[in-house]
A and B are shown apart, each in its own frame.
Chain A
């Protein structure tokens, strides 16, 4: 479970300061599928980065499974990120010099998983996302949808509790986007907590909960039962 209390994030641009998040309070339970919506600049990506411990809040507290993360070292935070969070980005963010299999293995390398085991696990994940015949392909040899599926496989490598997806269909044609969303639904059904950021209101209709943000504040938090 994640508990954010009074999270404030201010960007100092030198000549001016921008408050990206204004005292956000948010609780996320296991098994939820949350869509965070809002216009550009509303702070939804910043919130996602803070949730994924990619960024630090200037104020407020972050409890993960009742543990306060604000006091932990970079090494400890990195380990938590590696083991609890999987990330999916709009532009896929695969490493172009590594093939699909190798990209999926990256989180496993960092976790110190033995070579044979991580290879086996990566193969299995790529099979799950339907890319077992493309394991040796480099990102530039794959379509956008396939790249995103590799990214999903990579995000699942460490069997995380949370999947954080930042506009995962933003760069994809609608058909491929639908496939990715279906995969996220499927993951959520298997118990993975999915937090998806989107500016597309239609996508906000998915999942179990919709959060709307404007100007760094949560203006709506709607749960579907």
Chain B
């Protein structure tokens, strides 16, 4: 008998109990979709989390102050030593970064990386946020002038370019004083001369120190990265991620251009090579970020920083992910010795990943159980339908035998029916599984990418498991049909 004849017979038989057949196919489809998506998700998650272990983000160790830094002085950490009511607080300084590197041999990088949202200055002005900002900046300028008077540094001209470093973290404006300000102290005028108008209202940024680039293996594709000198001088320079550079400067003239964001102007110094690193805080690719020198160091250059609050996190990194736990212990010991009264917490970023993995693995176990249960129910349904069909077709089996069909032909016929139903279910389930994968992705964890080279293989693996499972449950009814005695079958009513 040809495959075509077999298909013809099978489809006719399936039509006889159409609704039952459709329900079984749908049940198998759900089981296959679940199995395929879950398998792909688990494999991809494991692969990617293994890869993540060697990812720069997870080679990071960070030191945080516990509690609310705005109310507890000891938690003003780490920040440049400050005047006034914080004078007696025991604080980590940014100068501790190299000191820590020297004292903790396991660590290879030390840096600050602080997220910020850059908003175009013209957007801020149009949004009616300009007035408040100008007032704030004027007030800041007065404070800074007073600090400069004590340290002997001219706040308006701390460096050769004539630009002023400063800034506050986040906030409604996300902005900072400084930029190209003209005129006398207290009379703030924003000079937007030679500034390129950018085509977006806002973008993500990171205030960092140069070692951040080394730790994250970020290199300049064109132009250059900022240096220790830029940092200390408070130069208003900016490095753009590859995507952001294309967005802001579609014509490609980024290097050397000046842009105005958060009431400051920045000169574009370089563009990074494309990177696959995703910022763990918000899931955006670093290619979409801008990077500027961290202002705390410029403040240090003035002697005292104009900011009134601390920076919550110092970051360190190791070269080899295997050294992390050792580095954490060494860092804890160092900090305990240096700052015995400060409530600090040292965390390896990888621990967070591990905690997430453990949490997720519990969810995945439940998911696997549900998948198995779904598949089992689908298979039982098919088993039931086929068995009932065999019983209902007992006489038909007898007639087939009378017409010359062998026992094996009968077995193959019923097995083919379960095969076709499983195949139809598998195809539908497989088609639906990428959607289910995306659902799992959004519901459980971000950052698990679909579409890597193994994705469809993983889906196929899941589908194959479900498919074989369904076929196995079709075997027994087919066997019952095969064993039916012809003369008994012909006498059946």
Residues of A within 8 A of B (CB): 45-46, 49, 52, 54-55, 74-75, 78-79, 81-83, 85, 87, 89, 93, 95-98, 106-107, 109-112, 115, 154, 158
- Interface segment among B138-146, B198-206, B403-411: the answer is B403-411
A78 and B490 within 8 A (CB):
no
A-B contact count (CB 8 A): 68
Query: Which secondary structure dominates chain B's binding surface?
Result: helix
A107 and B486 within 8 A (CB):
no
B406 and A75 within 8 A (CB):
yes
B401 and A54 within 8 A (CB):
yes
The verdict on A82 contacting B12 (CB below 8 Å), with A93-B395, A95-B399, A110-B409 known, is no
Q: Which 3 residue pairs across A and B have the least CB separation, nearest first?
A: A82-B404, A55-B487, A78-B406
8 A-B pairs in the complex with CB atoms less than 8 angstroms apart: A54-B490, A78-B404, A78-B407, A79-B404, A82-B403, A97-B15, A97-B16, A154-B403
CA distance A37 to B398 in the complex (A): 23
**Which residues of chain A come closer than 8 Å to B130, judged between CB atoms?**
none
Q: Mark B1-25, 1 if CB is under 8 A from A, else 0.
A: 1001100000011011000000000
**CB < 8 Å neighbour of A54 from B396, B406, B407, B486:** B486
The verdict on A97 contacting B487 (CB below 8 Å), with A74-B407, A78-B405 known, is no
B403 and A110 within 8 A (CB):
yes
Kindly provide the distance from the CB of B20 to the nearest chain A CB, expressed in whole angstroms: 14
Shortest Cβ distance from B13 into A: residue: A97
B5 and A109 within 8 A (CB):
yes
**CB < 8 Å neighbour of B1 from A74, A79, A89, A109:** A109
**Which residues of chain A come closer than 8 Å to B491, judged between CB atoms?**
45
A112 and B402 within 8 A (CB):
no
Kindly provide the distance from the CB of A45 to the nearest chain B CB, expressed in whole angstroms: 8
**Which residues of chain A come closer than 8 Å to B12, judged between CB atoms?**
97-98
A52 and B402 within 8 A (CB):
yes
B402 and A110 within 8 A (CB):
no
B406 and A74 within 8 A (CB):
yes
**Which residues of chain A come closer than 8 Å to B400, judged between CB atoms?**
106
B13 and A110 within 8 A (CB):
no
A112 and B1 within 8 A (CB):
yes
B391-438 interface with A by 8 A CB criterion: 395-396, 398-409
**Which residues of chain B come closer than 8 Å to A89, judged between CB atoms?**
399, 490
**Which residues of chain B come closer than 8 Å to A78, judged between CB atoms?**
401, 404-407, 409
**Which residues of chain A come closer than 8 Å to B406, judged between CB atoms?**
74-75, 78
B395 and A110 within 8 A (CB):
no
CA distance A112 to B5 in the complex (A): 10
**CB < 8 Å neighbour of B404 from A46, A93, A111:** A111
CA distance A106 to B406 in the complex (A): 13
**Which residues of chain A come closer than 8 Å to B404, judged between CB atoms?**
78-79, 81-83, 107, 110-111, 158
**Which residues of chain A come closer than 8 Å to B1, judged between CB atoms?**
109-110, 112
| Extra inter-chain contacts (9) besides given A78-B401, A115-B4, CB under 8 Å | A49-B487, A74-B408, A78-B407, A79-B404, A82-B403, A82-B404, A93-B398, A96-B16, A110-B1
A93 and B487 within 8 A (CB):
no
The verdict on A93 contacting B399 (CB below 8 Å), with A54-B486, A98-B12 known, is yes
CA distance A93 to B493 in the complex (A): 11
Kindly provide the distance from the CB of B488 to the nearest chain A CB, expressed in whole angstroms: 9
B490 and A49 within 8 A (CB):
yes
What total of chain B residues lie within 8 Å of the partner, measured CB to CB?
Answer: 26
Shortest Cβ distance from A89 into B: residue: B490
**Which residues of chain B come closer than 8 Å to A158, judged between CB atoms?**
404
**Which residues of chain B come closer than 8 Å to A45, judged between CB atoms?**
491
CA distance A187 to B405 in the complex (A): 25
Kindly provide the distance from the CB of A152 to the nearest chain B CB, expressed in whole angstroms: 14
Shortest Cβ distance from A91 into B: residue: B395
Kindly provide the distance from the CB of B16 to the nearest chain A CB, expressed in whole angstroms: 5
Kindly provide the distance from the CB of A21 to the nearest chain B CB, expressed in whole angstroms: 12
**Which residues of chain B come closer than 8 Å to A115, judged between CB atoms?**
4
**Which residues of chain A come closer than 8 Å to B407, judged between CB atoms?**
74, 78
**Which residues of chain B come closer than 8 Å to A49, judged between CB atoms?**
486-487, 490
**Which residues of chain B come closer than 8 Å to A54, judged between CB atoms?**
398, 401-402, 486-487, 490
Give the interface centre of B5, B409, B485 by most chain A CB atoms within 10 Å: B5
B402 and A81 within 8 A (CB):
yes
**Which residues of chain B come closer than 8 Å to A85, judged between CB atoms?**
402
CA distance A12 to B408 in the complex (A): 25
**Which residues of chain A come closer than 8 Å to B395, judged between CB atoms?**
93
A95 and B487 within 8 A (CB):
no
**Which residues of chain A come closer than 8 Å to B16, judged between CB atoms?**
96-97
The verdict on A87 contacting B402 (CB below 8 Å), with A46-B487, A97-B13 known, is yes
**CB < 8 Å neighbour of B408 from A55, A75, A106:** A75
A110 and B405 within 8 A (CB):
yes
CA distance A96 to B399 in the complex (A): 12
B317-333 interface with A by 8 A CB criterion: none
B265-306 interface with A by 8 A CB criterion: none
**Which residues of chain A come closer than 8 Å to B487, judged between CB atoms?**
46, 49, 54-55
Kindly provide the distance from the CB of A64 to the nearest chain B CB, expressed in whole angstroms: 15
**Which residues of chain B come closer than 8 Å to A55, judged between CB atoms?**
485-487
Kindly provide the distance from the CB of A156 to the nearest chain B CB, expressed in whole angstroms: 12
CA distance A107 to B16 in the complex (A): 21
Kindly provide the distance from the CB of B378 to the nearest chain A CB, expressed in whole angstroms: 25
Kindly provide the distance from the CB of A151 to the nearest chain B CB, expressed in whole angstroms: 10
Give the interface centre of B16, B395, B404, B406 by most chain A CB atoms within 10 Å: B404
CA distance A120 to B12 in the complex (A): 21
Kindly provide the distance from the CB of A56 to the nearest chain B CB, expressed in whole angstroms: 9
CA distance A131 to B401 in the complex (A): 25
CA distance A87 to B4 in the complex (A): 26
CA distance A115 to B406 in the complex (A): 20
CA distance A126 to B400 in the complex (A): 20
Kindly provide the distance from the CB of B190 to the nearest chain A CB, expressed in whole angstroms: 83
**Which residues of chain B come closer than 8 Å to A74, judged between CB atoms?**
406-408
CA distance A79 to B487 in the complex (A): 17
Shortest Cβ distance from B1 into A: residue: A109
Shortest Cβ distance from A107 into B: residue: B403
**Which residues of chain A come closer than 8 Å to B5, judged between CB atoms?**
109
Shortest Cβ distance from B407 into A: residue: A74
Q: Mark B378-400, 1 if CB is under 8 A from A, else 0.
A: 00000000000000000110111
Kindly provide the distance from the CB of A70 to the nearest chain B CB, expressed in whole angstroms: 16
B1-54 interface with A by 8 A CB criterion: 1, 4-5, 12-13, 15-16
Shortest Cβ distance from B15 into A: residue: A97
**Which residues of chain B come closer than 8 Å to A106, judged between CB atoms?**
400, 403
